[in-house]
Amino acid sequence: MRLVLVDGSGFIFRAFHAIPDMTRPDGVHVNAVFGFCNMIARLMKEHTGSHLAVIFDAGRMTFRNRMYEPYKAHRPEAPPELVPQFALIREAARAFGLPSIELDDWEADDLIAAYAKAALQAGGEAVIVSSDKDLMQLIRPGVTMLDPMKNVPIGEAEVAAKFGVTPDKVIEVQALIGDAVDNVPGVRGIGPKGAAELIGQYGTLEAVLEAAKSGAMKPGKRRDMLVEFADNARISKELVKLRDDAPLPEPVEDLALRHWDDAVLSAFLDTNNFKSIKQRLALSDAPRAEAAAPKAEAAAFGGYETITSMAALTALIEAARQAGFVAVDVQTDDRNSLHGNLLGIALAVAPGRAGYVPLGHNLGLEDTPQLLWPDALGALGALFTDVAVLKIFHDAKYNLEVLTRAGVAQVAPLDDVMLISYAQDAGNFSHDRETLARKHLAHELKSFDSVAGSGRARLSFANVPLAGASAFAAEAADVTLRLWAMLKPLLRVNKSLALYELVEKKLIPVLTAMELHGVMVDRADLRAMSVEFEGRMAEIETDIQRLAGQEFNVGSPKQLGEILFERMGLPGGKRGKAGAWGTDSSVLEGLAEQGIEVAQRVMDWRQLAKLKSTYADALIGQADENGRVHTSFQMAVAATGRLSSTDPNLQNIPIRTVEGARIRKTFIAAPGCSLVSADYSQIELRLLAHVADIAALKESFARGEDIHARTASEVFGVPMAGMDAATRRRAKAINFGIIYGISAFGLGRQLGVGAGEAKAYIDAYFKRYPEIRAYMEATKEEARSQGYVLTPFGRRCWVPRIKDKMPQLRAYAERQAINAPLQGGAADIIKQAMVKLPKAMARAGLSATLILQVHDELLLEAPDDEARAAAELAREVMQGAAEISVPLTVETGIGKNWGDAH
């Protein structure tokens, strides 16, 4: 690998000043863009590496500003002729088919350092295209520099000429010299000459400072300055020293160089009137229409191949190698990835060119025999691990779980179209392949029902006639590939690339491991509870029917409503939309308070019915032969970025009531192990304090106060000390109400007070925390103008109904907008923790494993003797997963069952 790293940001300024002004016909200044295109054209011809990326600064503020506030504080604003060229240069990079990379909080220089390191680690070399002196420290065996303007290499000789030292000593020298332009202080009175001399003599900055301090250096002005400004020198060294630990927004293997699309590049050069570059590249005048029409749309759907020979499979794999990417989609006999058996694999290598490899189908008499899986695995396994071929999935987690269970060891690198869509369009529409095809490709996918039948007539996919099965499967892969070509570039445009690469994609293996591992339940305990609940329900049912004076189905809200409000003539009945009597718990509670015995009995019955059917019986049925249940985490469903859990849902296991807690206690640790629970305390309220910048709330969290008590104190004017539980409870309800986008009606209902009284609470709250109002208004406005809101970590949450003409729907959307950054921000934080935690455990030599995530809680299973260490490490990683303006705190617990681990 020879990775060429172009310092895009550095180049822009240099080219702008070095190249005379140029404008294109519409008046836009393009001299820097022209310089950039020229440089890239030359680079691609003369110094081609195998991989290439253009690196940019993402914004002005970075971690260095937190370290030293004045850093780069006095950089002048960019000249107005340059400003529009920043975006154009990124566009130019795209036109050349080059990835441009930037990451919030990191300077381009640090990203370059990180990528150079990655190239070395991959056994390759790196070429840094820049003339920036700050990058010279990176020069070492395997890392070279190239001056893009002069087109000359920068090596040890050039570094020595500039700094008087070898590259590995550059930061020592820079620390002494400082940099007036960037506000790096250095030591006054010491310039390049003096610095080189000192470092040449003493070796390092610390040695120089020590010599000055101890008196080993000859007395004089220089020594005095070194003593006085020693700390300045140290901070300077930290500032100029590049960090090579930035997360890589795109894996280095994804930067493989590919030829540009002639039509796209030609169109870009035409728009900017760069005729000379076009000539140099020998680009023809491609008709505009052709350039505008993506190839994905040009190719027809259908006409796919059914692969039944090794020769045909090998040919398709070779085509994938040529392309550098391949879409892969497995077919199984069950929608659940943990049950489904592999029936075949579809591969697509270009729009319209796809094939299906049947492996486990029940063939008809006329069908050619299918390949044997061990043979196919031999060829496909090599493709799956080939770093030069990107494997593209829709729902990679599903595919990988099936492939893993079928014996595939590794699949990398990969992309996931479902997550690519989710990262930029959560809340906008669903991310199943059918919807995406309809939306982005205007193509209606063959439905599964139309191929396999529905209802009683539904066939297992293994029994679907092969021709139809093959066409269905290959089309799925074809569509996946086309969607990828269309959506992947949009990630960068929509600023969702880092979220996708660093959070969503990295979560795939974490969740896969959690799902495969599962969590143990005590089946005997659950069976006993099921029997017990059944008996108690039968007794209660008898009571209810005696009280009601007739037999009826207690489980039917319809019949119950008629009994209560018609036959028995009880007061307080309300009809719903369909005209049915409402019988939910708030209604029954109202009746029970009036002493209506039957209402209380129905509530008791319902609680047991719920626990028996939804939890006890369902979990027994879901447990595998080892007593472990395996949920499936949905990564692209929730509109806020949260995960969800299905088959079974393990994110809504009861805890609040005494009987419910018994269910939670049936979740147990494996023998010799303990369960470790770690949950964020008040994470959404903390995010509210952070994003709305609420001074009093932030202060309260910083002090570690009981936040609900503090709120009660502020809103109701009572002292924190000796506060009664009811007052605190009211304040807690208000705090939750705020997070949910409060309304007086809703809060009143929640608290059991009138809307008037609830409004008074809300007004008092807004008065004590005035910043809330501004946040709510700003967020709603953001949603109206953009259509989406952003979490503090840049996740987009769409709120499509924000401009609906129906006031009711609009109000609903406004509450969604207010809630999404908080709920979504919390999701971002715990996801980052989940990505870090398994690595941290491994590093610490702990074998604790994640088994569940419940929005603000992580549950781990750990050997008994590791539990305490695992709990501490989980706390540390979770608290450090993100940095916001209030502390994040995590509470941990250890127990033999989930109930006791809290």
Partner DNA sequence: TGGACGGCGTAC
Partner DNA sequence: GACGTACGCCGTCCAC
Out of 341, 644, 879, 889, the only residue in the binding site for DNA (CB under 7 A) is 644
Among 309, 410, 594, 652, binds DNA (CB under 7 A): 652
Q: How many residues does the chain have?
A: 902
523 touches DNA by CB under 7 A: no
Query: Does 823 help bind DNA (rule: CB under 7 A)?
Result: yes
Q: What angle do CA 79, 81, 86 make, to 5 degrees?
A: 90
Task: Tell me the per-residue interface mask from 572 to 611 with DNA, x by CB under 7 A, - otherwise.
Answer: ----xxx-x-xxxx-xx--------------x--xx-xxx
Our CA angle for 63, 69, 72, nearest 5°, is 80
**Smallest distance, DNA to C-beta of residue 333, A:** 16
Q: How far is the CB of 382 from DNA (least distance, A)?
A: 36
Could you give the residue ranges of the DSSP H alpha helices within 81-169?
A: 83-95, 108-121, 156-163
Nearest to 738 by CA among 713, 707, 784: 707
* Shorter beta-carbon distance to DNA: residue 179 or 604: 604
Q: Does 825 bind DNA (CB under 7 A)?
A: no
How is residue 392 written in tokens? 């593209």
DSSP per-residue string spanning 503-524: IIHHHHHHHHHHHHH-EEE-HH
Please say whether the beta carbons of 637 and 427 come within 8 A. Answer: no
Residues numbered 454 to 513 that lie near DNA (CB under 7 A) are 454-456, 458
Q: How far apart are CA 605 and CA 770, in angstroms?
A: 46
Q: Confirm or reject binding of residue 727 to DNA (CB under 7 A).
A: no
Q: How far is the CB of 574 from DNA (least distance, A)?
A: 9
The least CB distance from residue 886 to DNA, in Å, is 18
Q: How far apart are CA 864 and CA 745, in angstroms?
A: 49
User: Which burial class, exposed, middle or buried, applies to 698 when counting CB atoms under 10 A from its CB (0-12, 13-18, 19+)?
Assistant: buried
By C-beta, is 356 or 605 nearer to DNA?
605
> Judged by CB, which is closer to DNA: 458, or 546?
458
Determine the Cα–Cα distance for residues 864 and 672; give it in Å rounded to an integer: 6
Q: Which is nearer to DNA, 33 or 653 (CB)?
A: 653
Residue 592 CB-density burial (10 A; 0-12 exposed, 13-18 middle, 19+ buried)? middle
Which residue in 737, 821, 825, 838 binds DNA (CB under 7 A)?
737
Question: DSSP assignment of 780-807, as one string?
Answer: HHHHHHHSEEE-TT--EEE-GGGG-SSH
Q: Indicate whether 800 belongs to the interface with DNA (CB under 7 A).
A: no
Closest CB 554 distance from DNA, rounded Å: 8
Least distance (Å) between residue 533 CB and DNA: 12
- We find the least distance from the C-beta atom of residue 619 to DNA, in angstroms, to be 9
Q: DSSP string covering 536-556, please?
A: HHHHHHHHHHHHHTS---TT-
Residues 525-544 touching DNA, rule: CB under 7 A, are: none
Part in contact with DNA (CB under 7 A); list of ranges 228-236, 289-297, 365-373, 649-657: 649-657
Q: Quote the CA–CA distance of 522 and 27 in Å, as a whole number.
A: 74
Q: How far is the CB of 57 from DNA (least distance, A)?
A: 35
* Out of 322, 613, 847, 885, the residue judged to bind DNA by CB under 7 A: 613
Considering the complex, state which of residue 355 and residue 741 has its C-beta at the smaller distance from DNA: 741
* Beta carbon of residue 282, minimum distance to DNA (angstroms, whole number): 52
- Residue showing tokens 């975006």: 87
Closest separation in Å from C-beta 738 to DNA: 8
Binds DNA by CB under 7 A, chosen from 38, 634, 727, 879: 634
Least Å distance between CB 152 and DNA? 56
Nearest-approach distance from CB 668 to DNA, in angstroms: 17
Smaller CB separation from DNA, 462 or 818: 818
Interface residue with DNA, options 150, 218, 259, 656 (CB under 7 A): 656
Taking the complex as a whole, how short is the minimal distance between the CB of residue 749 and DNA, in angstroms?
7
- Point out which span in 59-67, 76-84, 640-648, 703-711 binds DNA (CB under 7 A): 640-648
**H runs (alpha helix) in 47-82:** 63-67
The least CB distance from residue 305 to DNA, in Å, is 32
Q: Interaction with DNA in 802-821: which residues (CB under 7 A)?
A: 808, 811-812, 815-816, 819-820
Whole-number Å distance between alpha carbons of 269 and 289:
16
Residue closer to DNA by CB (options 354, 747) is 747
Angle, CA 486 vertex, CA 483 and CA 491 arms, to 5°: 105
Return the C-alpha torsion angle 273, 276, 279, 284, nearest 10: 0
**Separation of alpha carbons 29 and 198, rounded Å:** 46
Question: Contacting DNA (CB under 7 A), which of 299, 323, 655, 718?
Answer: 655
Binding residues among 391-450 for DNA as defined by CB under 7 A: 427
DSSP-derived pairing of the beta strands 890-895 and 673-680 = antiparallel
Region of 204-212, 216-224, 278-286, 729-737 interacting with DNA (CB under 7 A): 729-737
Which of 490, 639, 764, 840 is close enough to bind DNA by CB under 7 A?
639
Alpha-carbon distance of 176 to 179, in angstroms, equals: 9
Of residues 541-560, which lie at the interface with DNA (CB under 7 A)?
553, 555-559
Site for DNA in 855-894 (CB under 7 A): 855-857
Does 741 help bind DNA (rule: CB under 7 A)?
yes
Question: Rounded to the nearest whole angstrom, what is the least distance from the CB of residue 564 to DNA in the complex?
Answer: 10
Give phi and psi for 100, each to the nearest 5.
-110, 135
| β-bridge mates for residue 347, sequence order | 328, 355
Taking the complex as a whole, the smallest distance from the CB of residue 638 to DNA amounts, in Å, to 4
Question: 101, 110 in Cβ contact below 8 A?
Answer: no
Identify any residues that bridge with 402 across adjacent strands, giving them in sequence order: none
Element (H, E) at 679: strand 673-680
Nearer to DNA by Cβ, of 24 and 628: the residue is 628
| SS3 assignment for 570-632 | CCCCCECCCCCECCCHHHHHHHHHCCCHHHHHHHHHHHHHHHHHHHHHHHHHHCCCCCEECCE
The CB-of-458 to DNA minimum distance in angstroms stands at 7
Q: Does 164 bind DNA (CB under 7 A)?
A: no
Q: How far is the CB of 765 from DNA (least distance, A)?
A: 11
List 50, 362, 545, 614, residue binding DNA (CB under 7 A): 614
Say how many CA atoms lie within 13 Å of 210 toward its Cβ: 8
Q: In this structure, are residues 643 and 852 in contact, taking their beta carbons and an 8 Å threshold?
A: no
Q: Which two tokens stand for residue 210?
A: 């020590």
Binding mask 743-772 for DNA (x = CB under 7 A): x-xxx--x----------------------
In the chain, the amino acid numbered 472 is F
The reply to whether 847 sits near DNA by the rule CB under 7 A is no
- Cβ proximity to DNA: between 520 and 587 the closer is 587
Q: 151 vs 454, which CB is nearer to DNA? A: 454
Other C-beta atoms closer than 10 Å to the C-beta of 2 total 16
Is 319 one of the binding residues for DNA (CB under 7 A)? no
By rule CB under 7 A, what count of residues binds DNA? Answer: 75
Binding to DNA (CB under 7 A): which residues in 271-300?
Answer: none
Helix (H, G, I), strand (E, B) or coil at 331: strand
Sign of CA dihedral 531, 532, 538, 541: negative
Which CB sits closer to DNA, 308 or 600?
600
How crowded is residue 267: how many other Cβ atoms within 10 Å of its Cβ? Answer: 18
Compare residues 547 and 844 and give the one whose CB is closer to DNA.
547
- Per CB under 7 A, does 50 bind DNA? no
Q: Kindly state whether residue 648 participates in binding DNA, applying the rule CB under 7 A.
A: yes
**Residue 125 structure tokens:** 């070399």
